[in-house]
Chains A and B, each alone.
Chain A
Amino acid sequence: MMKIRKMVTLWVLATLLYVTVSPPAMAQNTERDGTDATFPFGGFVSYMMPCTCSAPIQWFFMTPLLLGDAPIVGPLSFNPLKVLPFNGLFSGFNAMPGNWLLGRYMPGMQTCQIYAGTACIILPVLGDITAIGTSEKK
């Protein structure tokens, strides 16, 4: 009896949290018609900067950043509250400078804003990380 009660309570709380949180998150991560709009990436984080106006998002500069055949360099944004290592595919979660990352990103998202003394400005990125793993264990 207690078990069922706990299960029902947990289910209700989980649903409450999911439904409340999911509309904006879904709008950013996937298309409503079910098509995944994310792409794979790999790369080395050489520099990290907090997006002070859009905390807790971080700005990762990747050297190199591997999106296709040729290595490039460039920044991605990363929200540790939104990107969680739930999936075993993306294990060894430790997104910090000095580590190699493997994951998926959504191109075009501009979520990083930094404070520039009197105003908040968008710091352009190549995309927003939606799933992540690293070569290092925590």
Chain B
Amino acid sequence: MRNGESRTRFIIHHASFIISAISFLALLAATIAWSRRKAPSPADFTFIIRGDITTLDTRGITWLQDMRIAYALYEGLYTLDPRTLKPVLGCADRVDITPDKTVYTFHIRDDARWCNGDDVTAGDFIFAWRRALEQPGDYTYLFNCIAGAEAYKTACGQGKPADFSTVGVKAIDRKTLRVHLKQPVKFFPDLCAYVSYLPQHEPSMRKFRIVDAKTGRVSYDARFTRPPNLVGNGPYRLESWEFKQRLRLVASDYYWNRAAVKSKVIDALCYSDVRTAFLRYEMGGIDWISDINSMDAADLLARGRKDIHIFPGFGTYFYSINCQPKLKDGRPNPLADVRVRQALCMALDKRPIIDNVARLHQPIADTFLPPGIFAGYQSPQGLPHDPQRARQLLADAGYPGGRGFPKLSILYNEGDEHGLIAQICRKQWLDVLGIDIELEALEIKSFRQRLHGRDYTIARASWMGDYDDPSNFLGKFISTSDNNDAGWANARYDRLCRDGETEIDPTRRNAMFTQAEQILVDDVPIIPLYFYVNCYLYPDRVRGLPPDPRSMVMLHAVEVHRP
């Protein structure tokens, strides 16, 4: 007992000393742990990504910054020209296309190699495509144009027996791949260059294979994408990936077009906060940021900074209007009347949104498709800003001066400038039409659930294109589309879109799409507000970042001139 007592007294007498000593030791340990870390050698090209890469498994990639890295690690049959971002032959050096444009035979390069030295074969493409159909992601719909692909995907999803030989993809020999399409698809080369169509290296993934005991479904533990497991056939191999810190790409020793690889070592630094990322850029040493908040960007523009680059984007910011006859709660929907929708649209002056909120000289949108991006496409005439007619239309619909108009709301997600834009619209609708529309801000997940569930009256929305064709935008509002959040249906519109997709003659095709968009604009299931612009920040020394509307960048072509 005595022993314990003396120990207690010792501790009591020296409490402050003990606490200090423990703290000091902890500090020392931390310091030592720190000093043992090695700073990485500098890269040839360093850029900043937001947060972190979500996934490098090509079948599940949806984010732009993941795609940029994927293109550095993999190469499709077609790839994108680094300057024009149009599809050019990549891993295949020759393609035979039948006159009816439904059968493509690809000849894979003899010198196409995986980064471990293995030969790239037709089987590698079939493996990746088959995986995509069996374990679909958000972009698996891009395979629908291949004969039998959609049916195979659906059968697999429902757990029914499915035979892959019914899908129009065959390996003629080790290096030859033949693809049968359902119908001619004008943009099939674009699809072949898309991330979903990239090949995968089965032998290196084999040890990550998981077979579900119950359903028999095969999936792969996504850890196969982590270095040193990931084997790609692109210009780079993934040397390291520290979660939320850094990815390092090093030029592949086996890529067939090594001469085109400008930077041998690339670092992608992860920054969660755009503001901190921007400050980091301002300190120097960073070659490129593709994500800055509009306040900083507008400030730099005003100061006449030369390293800010603004160019047209590939998307539209708009308000989606619920067109269904009844609202989710059973009330009759006043917006089902086209005159009300037109009144809302024509009452809006969109200029203050650009001048006071968006602030990057975004083009005002009166139509849905960004103009000047699709070759040969003529945008239709949008509805003008006309307060007089707007009031008249609302009166015709039975709400003169806004009297008797039911309570509606603008639904948007918190963050960014959505709230400010909604306030501007609310004020204008109140001033011009005399109707007070409430604002309803939601957390993003709840917001999406309400938007996709058509449980709203007016909602903030946006659409970003995936591939270079008007159908990619117009398809959103086909009455059967999953993405038709407005619940709008127009038989003539549907027919024009469908016919346009299969039309081979480019002029007739574009004319059909223009007619379809005219219907969309006149019928107002959406109120277009502005077209997105892209904003890059990079100094003079950096070359090879093209002003691509989709802001795609082929990292291997980026070059930094150091003095």
Chain B associates with chain A: no
| B positions within 8 Å CB-CB of A | none
| A positions within 8 Å CB-CB of B | none
